[in-house]
Amino acid sequence: MSRVRILRTLLVVLPIVALTVCVPLVNRIEPRLFGMPFILLWILFWVFATPGFLWGVGRTEGRW
Amino acid sequence: MNASLSLGIVAAIVISTVSFAFFSIRRVKMSPHEYIVGNRSFGALFLWVLLAGEIYTSFTFLGAAGWAYGLGAPAYYILAYGTCGYIIGYFLLPAIWRIGKERNLLTSPDFFVARYGSRALGTAVAIVQFVLVVPYVTLQLSGLQILLKIAGYGTIDGRTAAIISFIVITLFVFATGLRGTAWASIVKDALVIGALIFVGIAIPIQFFGSPAAMFDQLLRAHPHHLLLAAGAADHGEIWYVSTVLLTGIGFFMGPHSIAATYSARDDDTLRRNAVFLPLYQLVLLLVFFAGFAALLIVPGLKGPAADQSFMLVVQHFYPPWVLGFIVGAGALCALVPASALLLSAASLISKNVLGDALGIATSDRSRLLITRILVVLVGLLSLGLWLTEDKSLVSLLLVYYNGVTQFMPAFVFGFLWKRTSVWGVTAGIIGGLALAAYLAFNNLQIGGANPGFLALALNVALLVGVSLVTRPPVEAST
């Protein structure tokens, strides 16, 4: 696989893995931020990082 | 007095949304393609509004708040699965759009006809999707009734008001088609965001000082509410992982989502939407806040009443005009998706059953007319089914998500694997649907995992196995 393809695969797989199989690993309350438990912060982080990842995928495909 | 003020505001919101959409499409020339897939002309922003309008239904909001209130942490799955759905959609939707454009497709079953060269399969898929979608329309009616009942302060049971607004929306779809739904979505999205900022931020601030203080109090009162149960427990970690994956895979498989996909101007429009739609998930976080706040303010609600939790807080503690605005936003969350669902259900019948299978109304003019008449008939059918309060509707809803997910392998393998045959796809869909229905009706879970997974695995196994032993499709004629 070329470097670009590896990068693209990572950009797709990382957020999906983080939002699914990783969640049991972060199933705890502390540390908290704005009162929110860590598990919720983790999920929120990946939800709002996903546009960045998908934008990056588009970049590796030369779309924008 | 209170009831007439809040219900009056709800009525004003619904009527002005419908009028706004009417006004916006007044110069559009109607054809089946314009009516069903907006002439494949929607740009990035317009499509974003339409997709958000379809995806975030009254049940997303009432249900998400109900989950946050009643179950706590399992509600997080709603944030995650949509996001996974958008990631998959980034790749899937442009591929569906491309074949739709090349072969001039109108409906989701049209894809099956185009890719697998079988009208019979397309018709069968249309009938199955129709059966899955109609209960989903009735679900919106239930959501509507709950909201209107709250807006009436218990003075009306909400049923008559729900019926009236549903008839309004059916006539609205009759007249305007998909483009009208998209314009109505603009109003819906704006109002919903406003309403949710109020209930998700203002309520926690007013009652607890800040959202953070609300969480402190919640953790003291319910220490385990914000964590997933370990392992294979009910709504535990295994359930979470399997459900996010499964529902993420099925995210865009509803026939109304495929119609919205076809309506894009080009494939990059769809990619841009997949990139930006996860940001809309922020509104779900606000719904969670509202549900958590309600748990502390009005504890003890059980079952379906939990879905009304934050609405009851608004009803008890805020003036009627605030309630009117929030219920108005909620009513649009039922009506806008209902209009998209009605339109796609009607087009399944007019195109794939009447047109392709029976050869009725195949000219543009008669197809447009028949689709419009069917919109009204499907609307009446949903209304009738809803009024009978038939228990099988609830069962069908249990299957809706796992049911539409069973069409996913036909798309993915159809794009990626040349050998995928019509028999493989047929066997996969039948096996997957049968197992999904069996597991759902008998409420079976295996090792805490979402039962839809087994159905999807069987589907893929059958698809691959049968495709290997049957003839690959003759490269379907263009």
Q: Which of A5, A17, A41, A47 to mutate to test the interface with B (most CBs of B within 10 A)?
A: A47
Strand partners, B104: none
Contact A39 B228 (CB under 8 A): yes
Measured between beta carbons, which residues in chain B are less than 8 angstroms from residue A51?
275-276, 278-279
Strand partners, B42: B264
Residues 6+ apart with CB under 8 A from B103: B110, B114, B478
Helix (H) or strand (E) holding B392: helix B391-405
- Give the model's pLDDT for residue B477: 43
- Give the model's pLDDT for residue B478: 41
Q: What is the DSSP letter of B451?
A: T
- Environment class of residue B470 by beta-carbon count within 10 Å: exposed (0-12), middle (13-18) or buried (19+)? middle
Report yes or no on B184 lying in a domain: yes
Q: Is A54 on the interface with B (CB under 8 A)?
A: yes
Measured between beta carbons, which residues in chain A are less than 8 angstroms from residue B215?
32, 34-37
pTM of the complete model: 0.93
CA distance B449 to A24: 14
Give me the number of domains chain B comprises.
2
How does DSSP assign B424-446, residue by residue?
HHHHHHHHHHHHHHHHHHTT--B
Q: What is the DSSP letter of B73?
A: G
Contact B80 A58 (CB under 8 A): no
User: Do A14 and B211 contact (CB within 8 A), yes or no?
Assistant: no
User: For B87, which of A24, A48, A54 is closest by C-beta distance?
Assistant: A54
Measured between beta carbons, which residues in chain A are less than 8 angstroms from residue B84?
15-16, 19-20
CB atoms within 10 A of CB B24: 16
Residues B281 and B381 in one domain: yes
Alpha-carbon distances of B468 from B13, B253, B411, B419, rounded to whole Å: 56, 25, 17, 7
Measured between beta carbons, which residues in chain A are less than 8 angstroms from residue B226?
29, 37, 39-40
Contact A36 B215 (CB under 8 A): yes
- Give the model's pLDDT for residue B474: 65
DSSP reduced 3-state for B229: strand
- What's the gap in Å between the CA of A16 and the closest CA on chain B? 6
DSSP reduced 3-state for B449: strand
- What's the gap in Å between the CA of B110 and the closest CA on chain A? 29
Nearest CA in chain A to B226: A37
Q: What are phi and psi of A37, to 5 degrees?
A: -70, 160
Q: What is the CATH number of the domain that holds B232?
A: 1.20.1730.10
Residues 6+ apart with CB under 8 A from A35: B210, B211, B212, B213, B214, B215, B216
CA distance B294 to B66: 10
CA distance B215 to B212: 5
Structure-token pair, residue B254? 């509803």
- What's the gap in Å between the CA of B446 and the closest CA on chain A? 18
Q: Which runs of consecutive H residues, i.e. helices, occur in B198-266? A: 203-208, 211-221, 237-249, 255-262
Residues B141 and B188 in one domain: yes
- What's the gap in Å between the CA of A13 and the closest CA on chain B? 9
* ipTM of model over 0.90: yes
CA distance B377 to B398: 24
Nearest CA in chain B to A21: B241
Contact A29 B226 (CB under 8 A): yes
Taking alpha carbons only, the member of A62, A39, A42 closest to residue B219 is: A39
- What's the gap in Å between the CA of A31 and the closest CA on chain B? 13
Residues B251 and B331 in one domain: yes
End-of-domain residue from the set B389, B424, B446: B389
Report yes or no on B119 lying in a domain: yes
Q: What is the CA radius of gyration of chain A?
A: 14
User: Do B191 and B13 contact (CB within 8 A), yes or no?
Assistant: yes
Contact A40 B76 (CB under 8 A): yes
Q: Is A32 on the interface with B (CB under 8 A)?
A: yes
Which amino acid is present at B271? R
Residues B50 and B14 in one domain: yes
Indicate if the alpha-carbon torsion angle B178, B182, B184, B189 is positive or negative.
positive
Residues B202 and B350 in one domain: yes
Measured between beta carbons, which residues in chain A are less than 8 angstroms from residue B296?
none
User: Do B47 and B263 contact (CB within 8 A), yes or no?
Assistant: yes
Strand partners, B236: B229
Between the two ends of chain A, the Cα-to-Cα distance in Å is 22
Report yes or no on B397 lying in a domain: no
User: Do B75 and B239 contact (CB within 8 A), yes or no?
Assistant: no
Torsion of CA A14, A19, A24, A30, to 10 degrees: 100
CB atoms within 10 A of CB A30: 7
Report yes or no on B63 lying in a domain: yes
How does DSSP assign B257-319, residue by residue?
HHHHHHTBSSHHHHHHHHHHGGGGGHHHHHHHHHHHHHHHHSTT--GGGGGGHHHHHHHHHS-
User: For A28, which of B213, B227, B240 is closest by C-beta distance?
Assistant: B227
Structure-token pair, residue B404? 């539409």
- What helix, strand, coil percent values describe chain B, rounded to 5? 80, 0, 20
The model's pLDDT over B199-244, given as tens digits with 9 standing for 90+, comes to 999 999 999 999 999 999 999 999 999 999 988 888 899 999 999 9
The mean pLDDT of A38-45, rounded to a whole number, is: 97
- What's the gap in Å between the CA of A7 and the closest CA on chain B? 15
Residues B293 and B174 in one domain: yes
- Mean pLDDT over all residues of chain A? 94
Q: Which residues of chain B have pLDDT under 70?
A: 390-391, 393, 474-478
Residues B148 and B209 in one domain: yes
Report yes or no on B398 lying in a domain: no
Cis peptide bond upstream of B304, omega within 30:
no
Q: Is A9 on the interface with B (CB under 8 A)?
A: no
Range of the domain at B472: 406-478
Q: Is A12 on the interface with B (CB under 8 A)?
A: yes
End-of-domain residue from the set B332, B363, B389: B389
Contact A50 B86 (CB under 8 A): yes
User: Do B77 and B284 contact (CB within 8 A), yes or no?
Assistant: no
Range of the domain at A26: 3-60
Report yes or no on B395 lying in a domain: no
Give me the number of domains chain A comprises.
1
Structure-token pair, residue A28? 């705890």
User: Do B67 and B78 contact (CB within 8 A), yes or no?
Assistant: yes
Residues B358 and B231 in one domain: yes
User: For A44, which of B228, B276, B285 is closest by C-beta distance?
Assistant: B285
Measured between beta carbons, which residues in chain A are less than 8 angstroms from residue B219?
29, 37
Structure-token pair, residue B421? 């045959």
Residues B373 and B437 in one domain: no
CB atoms within 10 A of CB B316: 10
Q: Which of A14, A23, A46, A57 to mutate to test the interface with B (most CBs of B within 10 A)?
A: A23
User: Do B16 and B334 contact (CB within 8 A), yes or no?
Assistant: no
Q: What is the DSSP letter of A1?
A: -
CA distance B63 to B140: 12
